[in-house]
Structure 1
């Protein structure tokens, strides 16, 4: 079985490669050296091999992609207000790529840059990137690695980073999940459970207002599993601002997972574990105009708080010299079957 294949070239002639993890059964993945993009993820369910994430056809399509499909996000996942922050008494201006604000690392971020492949085995891909001081306006030379490991029905992503000067750092991963494996099935038909009692309300530009709101009784309360369609309230002012879900859920300190997702159409379920304090929930509502025809997927992005460099009350997001940053995002899959009860879904994931 071919483990590496060409995935096209960028406009400057740079060749992009796709690296396969796993075999023909169970879970398999294909990852690009461009942006560490998770281009394919497939699992065996009741309908045979089922695609679990949305993807694009070639390297240049990903380079032009405004939706961040599948990328490794950095230096800073989510938004920084005004594309500026103060650090140790010095003001820093970073690239503004969403109006006057900074989103997902800037103009190119980590997702449109070529990463160095340090190791590729049947079940492992180790990537490395050096982000020089001044890139996108950030201070400090940053050395970051991202390692994908696939074992059984599990895909694990580990970030590790060091810097020679203080810098904001908040990496995450941006796959769009539609476990139905069918673009005709709405992403909102998936069942979601997230152990988060609070969320971050946002302004019209989707910048956090600064407070943690109680999720109870709101469309942001997924502590008991329900579909996004059932939870959605089109009259809720927060959902009107984003045209749907594009909000940071604050994970409870006492939890044993970050999220669980289930498609009753395919019978496939996903559990996400992470040491990150929050989870960005994005419903993919812009995909209809950004990539007509690929359907919608749901983004579940473990991360630190958005705009944390400008919010003293948020968890610290500054990486300093002498400190090694580590973050793990762990995906596990199961196929409990179609139209299962939630207890069956959770039990199948626990066994996976």
Structure 2
């Protein structure tokens, strides 16, 4: 089986390749050396067909100009920093403004549209490295970041590790769009979602956190008991109107045993996300039809620290300092639960995976 294939070139002629993990018949992935992008993630359904459970594009140039951040490794800072600036140790640092007056997902190019260096690749491991230089997107200091994908059975794990030579905001995450049906024409909002999060971060009209953690009880953000986004959605909710749908950070409970569980009753495929991150951004993908007409539906579950944390001293600290090694893990675990199963059966299948 071919494990490396050409995937086109960037505008400057840089070649991009897709690197394969796994084998036919089980969980397999294709990852690009552009942005560490997870371009395909296949898991077999009950008929043994390989279902691609993430949305993807056709070639390198499509990803280079993608406004939706499909599948990328996000950095230096995932999510938004209000006013595209922050103050640290008495000094104000302006950042690239690429989301109105705000900074989003690391800036204009960020990590996701840059070529990474491949350090290792075999059937179940793909390791990349990127050096983010002083001043890139406005950030201080030189940052060295490694990202390693590992595939084991029905699990795909992503590990970040980073060091810097000057204090810098750092909040990496991963941005796949999931549709476990394997058919992106089926609404992603029909998937069942469970998140052990008793709080969420309310936002203003620009989707910048207001600074408080609100209780999810009685709101469309309560996914402690599994339900579909369709069932939870309330068109009259002012927070959902602000984002045109879900684009909010859910604050995980201190004793949460996982980040989220997702299940498609159409395909019978279930996914569990584990991470050491304190929160997860839920994005319903409502801009996809405008950004990529005809691509289909997917939703994002992005384990991360709190958005706008460099401007919010009440939020968990998001500054990486010299002499400290940053580590974050994100793991996706898949199981075939069967179609139209009860939630207890879905959880049991994931526990066995």
- Structure 2 regions of 5+ residues with no counterpart? none
Alpha-carbon distance in structure 1 between the residues aligned to 2:105 and 2:242: 19
Tell me what 2:189 maps to: 188
Kept in 2, the 8 Å contact 1:145–1:160? The answer is: yes
Partner of 2:22: 22
* Structure 1 contact 26–44 (Cα < 8 Å) conserved: yes
**Given that residues 183 and 293 in structure 1 are in contact (C-alpha distance below 8 angstroms), is that contact kept between their aligned partners in structure 2?**
no
CA distance in 2, matches of 1:159, 1:326: 5
Superimposed CA distance per residue, residues 114-168 of structure 1 (whole angstroms, 9 cap, x where no aligned partner): 0000000110000000000100000010000000000100000000000000000
Which runs of structure 2 are paired with 1:222-237 in the superposition (5 Å)? 222-237=223-238
Preserved contact between residue 168 and residue 319 of structure 1 (Cα < 8 Å):
yes
TM-score, normalised relative to structure 1: 1.00
- When the two structures are superposed, what TM-score results if normalisation uses the length of structure 2? 0.99
**Partner secondary structure for residue 348 of structure 1:** helix
The aligned runs of 1:322-337 (5 Å cut-off) are 322-337=323-338
Where do residues 192-271 of structure 1 align in structure 2 (5 Å cutoff)?
192-271=193-272
Instruction: Summarize deviations over 1:224-270 as a string: whole Å, max 9, x none.
Output: 00000000000000000100000000000001100000000000000
CA apart distance, 1:296: 1.2
The equivalent of 1:4 in structure 2 is: 4
Q: What is the rounded CA distance, in whole Å, between the counterparts of 2:257 and 2:278 in structure 1?
A: 12
- Counterpart Cα distance in 2 of 1:160 and 1:11: 29
Alpha-carbon distance, 1:277 to partner = 0.3
Flag structure 1 segments of 5+ consecutive residues without an equivalent: none
* Residue equivalent to 1:46: 46
Q: Which runs of 4+ in 1 moved over 2 A?
A: none
- Rounded to whole Å, the distance in 2 between the matches of 1:84 and 1:256 is 34
Query: Displacement, 1:108?
Result: 0.3
- Matching residue of 2:131: 130
The SS at the match of 1:238 is helix
Counterpart check, 1:37 vs 2:31 = no
Indicate the SS of the match to 1:272.
strand
2:160 corresponds to: 159
Alignment coverage as a number of residue pairs: 352
Q: Distance in 2 between matches of 1:140 and 1:243?
A: 36
Determine helix, strand or coil for the equivalent of 1:30: strand
Following superposition, the deviation at residue 294 of structure 1 comes to 1.2
Residue 118 of structure 1 corresponds to which residue in structure 2?
A: 119
